[in-house]
Amino acid sequence: MRQKNALRGHFIAPYVAGGAEPESNAWLEIAKWISDISDDTDETTTEEAYYDGDGTAETTVTAVKGAYTVEGVYDPEDKAQAYIASLKYKLGNERLVWHKVVSSDGKKQWIGLATVSEIVAGSGAASDYEAFSCKISYNSIPKESVPVN
């Protein structure tokens, strides 16, 4: 069954050093005025040919860095956007957040620590609404589980 992208959920929660996964009420949904969330996952691969084959190189994925680019209109009253905007001039671990993605059918979720980069919270032509965008990149492969309601 086909699902609309808008049914997939993207959430962030503040990271506290040494802290565990956030409680369910800590998650802030990234949705209001957001028009596009693109999967920008990056994969590292190696290619090697072996004598037990026909000499054609085999591709092996050696690393996966999950990432999503968020774009839309900036709303400083939206809690998720405001939190991301507050990170703009932070460095290092101060850019860490918890990131949760819930599949459009609601049957799977992925949770992990991530870094927010490329933050834009107010930009654009005078006649346009203020732009909002950022990139949220998992710092390791996120944990897959079944959402708890």
The pLDDT tens digits of the residues spanning 14-31 come to: 998 887 889 889 999 999
Distance, CA of 112 to CA of 100 (rounded, Å): 7
Is the pTM here over 0.75, yes or no?
Answer: yes
Residue 142: CB partners within 8 Å, gap ≥ 6?
Answer: 66, 99, 101, 110, 111, 112
> At residue 75, what is the residue type?
D
Q: What percent of the chain has pLDDT over 90?
A: 85
**pLDDT confidence band for 53 (50 / 70 / 90):** confident
pLDDT tens digits, 106-123: 999 999 999 999 999 999
- Examine the pLDDT at 1 and tell me if it is beyond 90: no
SS3 content of the chain, % helix, strand, coil (to 5): 10, 45, 45
| Cα dihedral sign, 84-86-88-91 | negative
